[in-house]
Structure 1
Amino acid sequence: MVHIVFLLINIEIDEHRNITTSLFISPNHLIFLANDTELKSAIFASQLHSDDHIEYVYKNEIILGKIRKIYLTIEEGYYAPLTPSDTIIIDNILVSHYASVNNHYLTHNVMKIYR
């Protein structure tokens, strides 16, 4: 991993225990909206809104977290390389590995050759 300074979005999330947690993520990183379908909607983090629900991991279970507040910040962070999985957990939030292309499933299929 390479350590760099980034313009990030800080997403404050209320999870089920009335605790607020924060996710720092790049604006063009894909994140999954929580919905009732098997094929999850992945959108750019910059497209999220307050009151959207995302998937939160708590005690090895995926539960809903509600977005309370979103704002831009400059933070130090890490750039992660590709891994065999198409999703990762960042600060207990389920997110896509991918950024910059607004289609998680298409990008995952195209990137097969690199994994």
Structure 2
Amino acid sequence: MASVVSSISIALCIIFLAWTVIIAAPVDINSSGNSSNVTGTTRCIAFCGEVTLVKTPICFSGDSWLQLSDGRRQNIEQLQSGENLLAFDGSNVVASEMMFILDKNAYAQAHFYTLETASNHTISLSAEHLLPVVSEKGISIYIPVERIKAGHHSLYVLSDDGILSQSLVIRVSIQMKIGYFAPLTTSETVLVNNVVASCFSHVHNIAMAQLSMTPVRWYYKPATTTATTSSAMTTASLTTSTSTLPQTTTTTTISTLSSTSTTTTTTTQQS
């Protein structure tokens, strides 16, 4: 019976990944009407013709770092399966096990949206990556990064002393960076540069995306999924891993907010 369940889980995972590559991948169309599907790497599924392929990763930039549950900071390129990372369960910061890196390339160039907040947090990720934001009306929702506007949306951020809060986005820009990585955790969320983010891209319903990854979680069988991290946040010293990747080469500003906004502490949030 166990082998049957495992086989079904693997089959469902393959179907989901195929859907991600073929159906949900962005399409680049040239003047002749030919198209190519491109995700994190340069790949063409069908009808490519003379299309100029543009890298549009579904990941985080290679200069990103994540925080382990013991307080240490780890560069995204150095993450290993089984490590416990800080994540978000909709209300609190929790520990979540890193299952896989779904896609990565440490040396490829790609464009990323870079968001900067009033609390001096920054995050660089792909245009259609989902982030939990709070609107001007106080509504919390997951939206693609490309829809986030300076002065209109706030991100969930974590301070160095472990306080989860909302901080207004004050600048949005597009940057060319080197390297991209797509980690997947058991909670399907991560804190990248201490900014809360999902592990999903190119989807419009976070609940359906989470449901679709259920077979992956079953197959992985994590030893632990959640744990409180308040004590680790206050006692562990933070050490930043040094990245050897090249720095940003170009930056295009999309929107900015001249006035600095305050950071508002929050204790609950519905995902």
TM-score of the pair, normalised by structure 1: 0.84
How far apart, CA to CA, are the structure 2 residues paired with 1:34 and 1:90? 18
Structure 1 letter corresponding to 2:114: N
Question: Which of 87, 95, 98 is matched with 2:197 structurally?
Answer: 95
Tell me the residue number matched to 1:53: 154
Tell me the residue number matched to 2:121: 21
Tell me the residue number matched to 2:112: 8
Secondary structure of the structure 1 residue equivalent to 2:213:
helix
2:133 is aligned with 1:33: yes
Secondary structure of the structure 2 residue equivalent to 1:80:
strand
Question: Which of 169, 173, 188 is matched with 1:71 structurally?
Answer: 173
How far apart, CA to CA, are the structure 1 residues paired with 2:117 and 2:155? 9
Secondary structure of the structure 1 residue equivalent to 2:200:
strand
Q: Kindly provide the CA deviation profile for residues 13-53 of structure 1, in whole angstroms up to 9, marking residues without a partner as x.
A: 111xxxx232111111000013656xx41000000001111
Structure 2 letter corresponding to 1:48: I
TM-fit CA distance, 1:73: 1.1
Tell me the residue number matched to 2:187: 85
Structure 2 letter corresponding to 1:96: S
Structure 1 letter corresponding to 2:211: N
Over alpha carbons, which structure has the higher Rg?
A: 2
Residues 117 and 170, structure 2, Cα contact 8 Å, conserved in 1: yes
- Structure 1 spans left out of the alignment, 5+ residues: none
- Structure 2 spans left out of the alignment, 5+ residues: 1-100, 218-271
Secondary structure of the structure 2 residue equivalent to 1:99:
coil
2:210 is aligned with 1:108: yes
Structure number with higher relative contact order (C-alpha < 8 Å, ≥ 6 residues apart): 1
- Structure with greater helix share of residues: 2
Secondary structure of the structure 1 residue equivalent to 2:210:
helix
Structure 1 letter corresponding to 2:210: H
Structure 1 letter corresponding to 2:109: V
Secondary structure of the structure 2 residue equivalent to 1:106:
helix
CA RMSD of aligned residues (A): 1.7
Count of aligned residue pairs for this structure pair? 109
How far apart, CA to CA, are the structure 1 residues paired with 2:205 and 2:163? 25
Moved over 3 A (4+): none
TM-fit CA distance, 1:77: 3.1
Residues 110 and 179, structure 2, Cα contact 8 Å, conserved in 1: yes
Secondary structure of the structure 2 residue equivalent to 1:50:
coil
How far apart, CA to CA, are the structure 2 residues paired with 1:54 and 1:81? 20
